[in-house]
Structure 1
């Protein structure tokens, strides 16, 4: 909407959802054959998810047939602009968190690059409120809390559809001042985000809540034009082969961004509250072995 350039702090909110894609782009030239060279032009901004996605693409290329070369440039663009470029055949691949709407518009490569980690949400709070969160034991207790979100974020629909109260603002930075001032109780953040966000705002007495985690399915996919199903298939097959070989998990768990998020969030010790995601496509590969992070495996 819901172990992310600014910095990891902007991974999910507008930062997150406006640039959950801080997109990278590929220019796909030529047929997918072993004999043809395919130039993959990738636009990598400073957003940490760009670097991660480019790395995942490199892993996929190791298992794809053909002669590929990455040409990496820097061109900051929004998710909306990236979609426009994809649809106008100015580029071939982008990435972002998925929902029904975008999957109807673009062609997804249904391999969750972050193993669903974007759907694990912990809270930024005023540390004086930690004792209140310590008393949360049931979902009804959770419903007594209020949650802050940026106007238009996809997470709003998820939280509200699970009967949680949401307070919104049009300005991302305001959310930190609002939770500090008690305008709402918690600011849910993806596990990749909160510590860097707090480090960027040392003047605010905020903390990461210690015990709870919201969990909902939120895939982070590669997307291509609906006119290029052969490219989507090649990417998907490459990623599947990398997963079967153990190479993808080696990359995922070995990435500093992921390792740091999993270590600092201590997800396995938190009380999980599963939420339904009404915007999730029916074609989401929920049962695919190895696709999703499971708390019991940490």
Structure 2
């Protein structure tokens, strides 16, 4: 009798432990929106969520928690310290690749450095006539204070006005302190659309494309290699199943860039990234001239 009770108790304990493990959740903390009308936040946070979901069988369930965004430079510092954040997304650079653990899969599939331009509508003809980097050197670009792009543009001889916030960059263009704001073709149209009422003088032009090697990635603390591995496995699974392509082609942030063939006749200026990047097998191919 005692033996039977002991076996039943053991079975109950095993069931309890297994049930507890099934219910146990990993909490992954990332950044909240930089501003209320942040078009890109939903794209990246839901892509992260999908990567965690498709790897839940191997790694267990996970939930995402967001905490306020203190600015890009501060996020990177806190992530490197292992404070507040488990994961963040940003453009890659040698410094960031050294400070943090980069998840290899490129989030815009290599298209972060494919840049259309926010310009004033009354400046459209001027930009339509630009055929070389030399022509562009008479203009001033607005860029984020800590964006890797600012260094790339300056390296190519383009004057850059560094600004801390997105809306402030747009205001600088309206005030004619800047002439253009280069944004990825995968985000520019949607980002501007959210604030278009406040900036009716502006448009996102894609007749002239600046193209340079630059990729966007998830980054984690150097001591969280397992989390980086999980996220990358999830992104590769989404890629292999075709779900990631469907996501990009339907998400409000990125859908306007498709089909990529529409850029076949755009005027493309190739810029040099002084921090040369290795080719990534998941990068989109730029469309051939029509």
* CA–CA distance in structure 1, aligned partners of residues 76 and 167 of structure 2: 24
1:167 correspondence with 2:154 = no
Q: Where does 1:19-30 land on structure 2 (aligned, <5 Å)?
A: none
* CA–CA distance in structure 2, aligned partners of residues 170 and 44 of structure 1: 17
| Structure 2 counterpart SS, 1:163 | coil
Q: Where does 1:189-204 land on structure 2 (aligned, <5 Å)?
A: 189-191=183-185, 192-194=187-189, 196-197=191-192, 200=195, 202=197, 204=199
Distance 1:234 1:41, change over 3 A: closer
Q: Where does 1:114-193 land on structure 2 (aligned, <5 Å)?
A: 114-169=108-163, 172-191=166-185, 192-193=187-188
Report deviation, 1:158.
0.5
Report deviation, 1:174.
4.3
| Structure 2 counterpart SS, 1:159 | helix
Q: Scaled by the length of structure 2, what TM-score is found? A: 0.74
Distance 1:107 1:126, change over 3 A: same
Q: What is the CA RMSD across the aligned residues, in angstroms? A: 3.4
Question: Per-residue CA shift, 1:74-121, capped at 9, x if unaligned?
Answer: 421224246425633654322222211111011111110121232222
| Structure 1 counterpart SS, 2:112 | helix
Distance 1:239 1:260, change over 3 A: same
Q: Give the conservation status (yes or no) of the 8 Å contact 1:38–1:66.
A: no
Report deviation, 1:263.
6.8
Q: Scaled by the length of structure 1, what TM-score is found? A: 0.72
Q: Give the conservation status (yes or no) of the 8 Å contact 2:212–2:273.
A: yes
Q: Give the conservation status (yes or no) of the 8 Å contact 1:147–1:184.
A: yes
Question: What's 1:256 paired with?
Answer: 252
Report deviation, 1:159.
0.4
Question: Per-residue CA shift, 1:166-205, capped at 9, x if unaligned?
Answer: 2345565443343334334322223313554365253642
| Correspondence for 2:215 among 213, 219, 229 | 219
Question: Per-residue CA shift, 1:110-137, capped at 9, x if unaligned?
Answer: 1101212322221222222222222222
Report deviation, 1:35.
8.6
1:237 correspondence with 2:233 = yes
1:107 correspondence with 2:94 = no
Q: Count residues with an aligned counterpart.
A: 260
* CA–CA distance in structure 1, aligned partners of residues 150 and 24 of structure 2: 44
Distance 1:40 1:73, change over 3 A: closer
Question: What's 2:92 paired with?
Answer: 98
Q: Which runs of 5+ in 2 are unaligned?
A: 1-20
| Structure 1 counterpart SS, 2:217 | strand
1:39 correspondence with 2:26 = yes
Report deviation, 1:44.
6.0
35-44 or 176-185, which deviates more: 35-44
Kindly indicate which of the two structures has a greater share of residues assigned to helix.
Answer: 2
Q: Which runs of 5+ in 1 are unaligned?
A: 1-33
* CA–CA distance in structure 1, aligned partners of residues 192 and 240 of structure 2: 35
